Amino acid sequence: MTVNKKPRPDLAAVELLVLDVDGVLTDGRLIVHDDGSESKAFHTLDGHGIRLWQRAGLKVALLSGRHSGATQRRAEELDISYVLQDCHLKRPALERLLDEIGLQAQNVAYVGDDLPDLPPMRFVGFAVAVANAVEEVKAQADYVTTCPGGGGAVREVIEHILKGSGRWEPLMQRYLA
Protein backbone atom coordinates (compact mmCIF):
# COMPACT_ATOMS: atom_id res chain seq x y z
CA MET A 1 0.00 0.00 0.00
CA THR A 2 1.33 3.45 -0.93
CA VAL A 3 0.77 6.30 1.47
CA ASN A 4 0.64 9.80 0.01
CA LYS A 5 2.56 11.97 2.42
CA LYS A 6 2.82 15.72 2.12
CA PRO A 7 6.45 16.86 1.71
CA ARG A 8 8.09 18.30 4.81
CA PRO A 9 7.46 22.07 4.93
CA ASP A 10 10.43 24.35 4.36
CA LEU A 11 10.41 26.44 7.54
CA ALA A 12 13.14 28.72 6.17
CA ALA A 13 10.75 29.74 3.38
CA VAL A 14 8.12 31.07 5.80
CA GLU A 15 7.95 34.87 5.67
CA LEU A 16 4.38 35.49 6.81
CA LEU A 17 2.61 34.10 9.86
CA VAL A 18 -1.18 34.27 9.56
CA LEU A 19 -3.16 33.79 12.75
CA ASP A 20 -6.80 33.12 13.33
CA VAL A 21 -7.86 35.05 16.44
CA ASP A 22 -10.67 33.38 18.40
CA GLY A 23 -9.38 30.01 19.53
CA VAL A 24 -5.77 30.70 18.49
CA LEU A 25 -4.72 34.01 20.05
CA THR A 26 -7.51 33.56 22.61
CA ASP A 27 -9.00 30.49 24.23
CA GLY A 28 -12.09 30.94 22.07
CA ARG A 29 -14.34 32.31 24.79
CA LEU A 30 -16.06 35.65 24.24
CA ILE A 31 -17.12 37.72 27.22
CA VAL A 32 -20.02 39.93 26.21
CA HIS A 33 -20.85 42.75 28.63
CA ASP A 34 -24.30 44.24 29.29
CA ASP A 35 -23.48 47.23 27.11
CA GLY A 36 -22.67 44.94 24.15
CA SER A 37 -18.91 45.40 24.39
CA GLU A 38 -16.75 42.32 24.58
CA SER A 39 -13.55 41.22 26.26
CA LYS A 40 -10.89 38.78 25.12
CA ALA A 41 -7.83 37.48 26.93
CA PHE A 42 -4.54 37.40 25.02
CA HIS A 43 -1.48 35.53 26.33
CA THR A 44 1.65 37.63 26.94
CA LEU A 45 3.92 34.82 25.73
CA ASP A 46 2.17 34.96 22.37
CA GLY A 47 2.63 38.72 22.26
CA HIS A 48 6.34 38.48 22.96
CA GLY A 49 6.63 35.70 20.41
CA ILE A 50 5.07 37.98 17.81
CA ARG A 51 7.65 40.64 18.71
CA LEU A 52 10.46 38.09 18.24
CA TRP A 53 8.98 37.14 14.85
CA GLN A 54 8.94 40.78 13.81
CA ARG A 55 12.53 41.31 15.04
CA ALA A 56 13.53 38.49 12.71
CA GLY A 57 12.21 40.67 9.86
CA LEU A 58 9.08 38.58 9.29
CA LYS A 59 5.47 39.62 8.74
CA VAL A 60 2.33 38.83 10.78
CA ALA A 61 -1.32 38.96 9.80
CA LEU A 62 -4.51 38.36 11.74
CA LEU A 63 -7.38 36.75 9.83
CA SER A 64 -10.67 36.49 11.70
CA GLY A 65 -14.20 35.58 10.77
CA ARG A 66 -15.50 38.10 13.31
CA HIS A 67 -14.97 41.80 13.75
CA SER A 68 -13.76 42.84 17.19
CA GLY A 69 -12.46 46.07 18.65
CA ALA A 70 -10.36 44.04 21.08
CA THR A 71 -8.64 42.32 18.15
CA GLN A 72 -7.90 45.65 16.48
CA ARG A 73 -6.55 47.05 19.73
CA ARG A 74 -4.25 44.05 20.30
CA ALA A 75 -2.99 44.30 16.71
CA GLU A 76 -2.16 47.96 17.24
CA GLU A 77 -0.31 47.16 20.49
CA LEU A 78 1.81 44.61 18.63
CA ASP A 79 2.32 46.70 15.46
CA ILE A 80 0.59 44.11 13.30
CA SER A 81 -0.03 45.81 9.96
CA TYR A 82 -2.29 43.23 8.34
CA VAL A 83 -5.59 42.80 10.18
CA LEU A 84 -8.39 41.17 8.21
CA GLN A 85 -11.63 40.91 10.16
CA ASP A 86 -15.17 39.85 9.32
CA CYS A 87 -13.78 37.40 6.73
CA HIS A 88 -16.26 34.56 6.48
CA LEU A 89 -14.38 33.07 3.53
CA LYS A 90 -10.80 33.09 4.72
CA ARG A 91 -8.92 31.68 1.74
CA PRO A 92 -9.98 34.39 -0.73
CA ALA A 93 -9.09 37.03 1.89
CA LEU A 94 -5.68 35.40 2.33
CA GLU A 95 -5.13 35.22 -1.43
CA ARG A 96 -5.88 38.96 -1.74
CA LEU A 97 -3.41 39.70 1.06
CA LEU A 98 -0.68 37.65 -0.61
CA ASP A 99 -1.28 39.47 -3.90
CA GLU A 100 -1.05 42.78 -2.05
CA ILE A 101 2.26 42.01 -0.33
CA GLY A 102 3.76 39.90 -3.11
CA LEU A 103 4.16 36.52 -1.41
CA GLN A 104 3.42 32.99 -2.54
CA ALA A 105 1.39 30.48 -0.50
CA GLN A 106 4.48 28.36 0.21
CA ASN A 107 5.93 31.34 2.13
CA VAL A 108 3.03 31.34 4.59
CA ALA A 109 2.36 29.61 7.88
CA TYR A 110 -1.27 29.58 9.02
CA VAL A 111 -2.49 28.76 12.54
CA GLY A 112 -6.10 27.72 13.02
CA ASP A 113 -8.50 25.84 15.26
CA ASP A 114 -11.88 25.40 13.57
CA LEU A 115 -13.50 24.41 10.29
CA PRO A 116 -13.38 27.87 8.64
CA ASP A 117 -9.58 27.60 8.91
CA LEU A 118 -9.37 24.52 6.70
CA PRO A 119 -9.33 26.31 3.30
CA PRO A 120 -6.37 28.57 4.18
CA MET A 121 -4.56 25.72 5.95
CA ARG A 122 -4.79 23.55 2.85
CA PHE A 123 -3.49 26.47 0.73
CA VAL A 124 -0.33 27.50 2.63
CA GLY A 125 3.14 26.03 2.92
CA PHE A 126 2.96 25.29 6.66
CA ALA A 127 -0.38 24.57 8.34
CA VAL A 128 -0.67 24.52 12.12
CA ALA A 129 -3.48 23.46 14.44
CA VAL A 130 -3.58 24.43 18.10
CA ALA A 131 -3.86 21.61 20.64
CA ASN A 132 -7.56 22.23 21.26
CA ALA A 133 -8.50 22.48 17.58
CA VAL A 134 -11.26 20.32 16.15
CA GLU A 135 -10.13 16.94 14.83
CA GLU A 136 -10.67 17.86 11.17
CA VAL A 137 -8.25 20.76 11.53
CA LYS A 138 -5.65 18.66 13.35
CA ALA A 139 -5.86 16.08 10.56
CA GLN A 140 -4.86 18.72 7.96
CA ALA A 141 -2.04 20.24 10.01
CA ASP A 142 1.67 19.87 9.37
CA TYR A 143 2.18 20.63 13.07
CA VAL A 144 -0.13 20.43 16.10
CA THR A 145 0.89 22.47 19.12
CA THR A 146 1.10 21.09 22.62
CA CYS A 147 -0.23 24.38 24.02
CA PRO A 148 -3.88 25.29 23.56
CA GLY A 149 -5.11 28.36 21.74
CA GLY A 150 -4.89 31.36 24.04
CA GLY A 151 -2.36 29.48 26.17
CA GLY A 152 0.94 30.08 24.41
CA ALA A 153 0.28 28.14 21.20
CA VAL A 154 1.31 31.04 18.98
CA ARG A 155 4.60 31.42 20.85
CA GLU A 156 5.18 27.67 20.43
CA VAL A 157 4.64 27.93 16.67
CA ILE A 158 6.92 30.93 16.38
CA GLU A 159 9.71 29.20 18.29
CA HIS A 160 9.24 26.04 16.21
CA ILE A 161 9.59 27.95 12.93
CA LEU A 162 12.40 30.23 14.09
CA LYS A 163 14.43 27.37 15.55
CA GLY A 164 13.72 25.09 12.58
CA SER A 165 14.86 27.77 10.14
CA GLY A 166 18.01 28.83 11.98
CA ARG A 167 16.63 32.25 12.92
CA TRP A 168 16.36 31.68 16.68
CA GLU A 169 19.97 32.00 17.87
CA PRO A 170 20.57 35.53 16.51
CA LEU A 171 17.43 36.71 18.33
CA MET A 172 18.68 35.27 21.61
CA GLN A 173 21.81 37.44 21.62
CA ARG A 174 19.72 40.30 22.95
CA TYR A 175 18.84 38.26 26.03
CA LEU A 176 22.08 36.37 26.56
CA ALA A 177 24.59 39.21 26.07
Q: Are residues 165 and 12 in contact, defined by beta-carbon separation less than 8 angstroms?
A: yes
Overall number of domains in the chain: 1
Q: Note down the domain range covering 122.
A: 11-176
Whether 171 is covered by a domain: the verdict is yes
Give the tens place of pLDDT for each residue, 113-163.
Answer: 999 999 999 999 999 999 999 999 999 999 999 999 999 999 999 999 999
What is the DSSP track for 113-131?
-SGGGHHHHHHSSEEEE-T
Whether 102 is covered by a domain: the verdict is yes
Give the tens place of pLDDT for each residue, 13-47.
Answer: 999 999 999 999 999 998 999 998 889 999 999 99
Tell me the pTM: 0.94
Q: Residues near 161 by Cβ (< 8 Å), separated by ≥ 6?
A: 11, 14, 17, 109, 126, 167
Whether 4 is covered by a domain: the verdict is no
Whether 1 is covered by a domain: the verdict is no
Whether 2 is covered by a domain: the verdict is no
Whether 5 is covered by a domain: the verdict is no
Q: Mean pLDDT across the chain, nearest whole number?
A: 94
The CATH number assigned to the domain holding 84 equals: 3.40.50.1000
Separation between Cα atoms, residue 52 and residue 54, nearest integer Å? 5
Q: Are strands 31-32 and 38-39 parallel, antiparallel or unpaired?
A: antiparallel
